[in-house]
């Protein structure tokens, strides 16, 4: 996707999530260049960090001049992992999102109540990631963590209807392949925004 298209898309959406494949393709300097001068409210590094404290902080450090936020896995636990990552990000004014539930079939939500939820409470992150393909999990996580920003992948190519995650309680939907695999990403973005508005206005209208 060229920078002009990205600039136009940036005006239609809240923020952008970058991942490992892009970083490998462009290198850190290339990613910085690609994103500079664009109008995103938030740039999220979706590296699904899931390592010991020392390694995650080393990785996070290398991206501090590019991104605002990082996604890490709750699953790795607090002591010696998310505790120090959270401290590091706090002291650098960066935000942390923790994965509460993923969008693919094999993800095991039976571990949420007694394990994932406990880790999230200890870490107290800025936000949470909950797959849009799991509407009941979005509702549950929203009810457990009322003040957290919930972002939701799994919309579009992965199966969930555009707008449905927001209707269930998420704050933002993460649209991946529907836009970046499109032959006309700008137009696809406009369609996504339109569909999302329609769906949301439908579900948020009080039934009479």
Binding site for a second copy (CB under 8 A): 19-21, 23-25, 27-28, 47-48, 50-55, 58-59, 62, 73, 75-83, 102-108, 111, 115, 119, 158, 177
How many whole angstroms separate alpha carbon 74 and alpha carbon 97?
9
Nearest distance in Å: CB 205, a second copy: 33
- Distance between CA atoms of residues 12 and 190, nearest Å: 7
Q: Min. distance of Cβ 154 from a second copy in angstroms?
A: 8
Q: Which is nearer to a second copy, 20 or 201 (CB)?
A: 20
> Which tokens in the block code for residue 203?
């579900």
Q: Which of 32, 48, 95, 117 is catalytic?
A: 48
Least separation in angstroms between CB 144 and a second copy: 19
Minimal distance in Å, beta carbon 61 to a second copy?
Answer: 9
Quick one: which of 55, 109, 103 has its CA closest to 82? 55
Nearer to a second copy, 7 or 62 (CB): 62
Q: State the first-to-last Cα distance of the chain, in angstroms, to the nearest integer.
A: 45
Instruction: Based on the residue annotation, tell me whether 48 is a catalytic residue of this protein.
Output: yes
Nearer to a second copy, 45 or 199 (CB): 45
CB nearer to a second copy: pick between 20 and 41 = 20
> Rounded to the nearest 5 degrees, what angle is found at the Cα of 117, between the Cα atoms of 115 and 119?
70
Q: What share of the chain is helix, strand, coil (3-state, %, to 5)?
A: 50, 20, 30
Answer left, alpha or beta for residue 82, where phi above 0 means left and psi between -120 and 50 means alpha: alpha
Q: Which residues are catalytic?
A: 48
């Amino acid at each position: 996707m060229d920078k002009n298209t990205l600039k136009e898309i940036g005006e239609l959406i809240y923020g952008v999530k970058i991942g490992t494949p892009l970083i490998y393709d462009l290198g850190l300097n290339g990613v910085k260049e690609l994103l500079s001068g664009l109008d995103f409210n938030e740039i999220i590094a979706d590296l699904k960090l899931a390592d010991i404290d020392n390694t995650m902080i080393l990785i996070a450090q290398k991206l501090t001049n590019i991104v605002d936020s990082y996604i890490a896995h709750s699953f790795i636990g607090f002591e010696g992992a998310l505790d120090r990552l959270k401290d590091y990000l706090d002291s650098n004014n960066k935000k942390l999102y923790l994965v509460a539930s993923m969008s693919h079939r094999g993800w095991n939500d039976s571990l949420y109540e007694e394990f994932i939820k406990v880790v999230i409470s200890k870490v107290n992150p800025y936000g949470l990631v909950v797959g849009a393909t799991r509407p009941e999990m979005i509702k549950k996580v929203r009810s457990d963590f009322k003040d957290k920003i919930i972002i939701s992948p799994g919309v579009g190519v992965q199966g969930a209807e555009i707008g449905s995650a927001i209707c269930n309680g998420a704050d933002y939907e993460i649209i991946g392949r529907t836009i970046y695999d499109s032959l006309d990403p700008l137009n696809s973005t406009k369609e996504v925004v339109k569909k999302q508005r329609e769906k949301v206005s439908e579900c948020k209208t009080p039934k009479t």
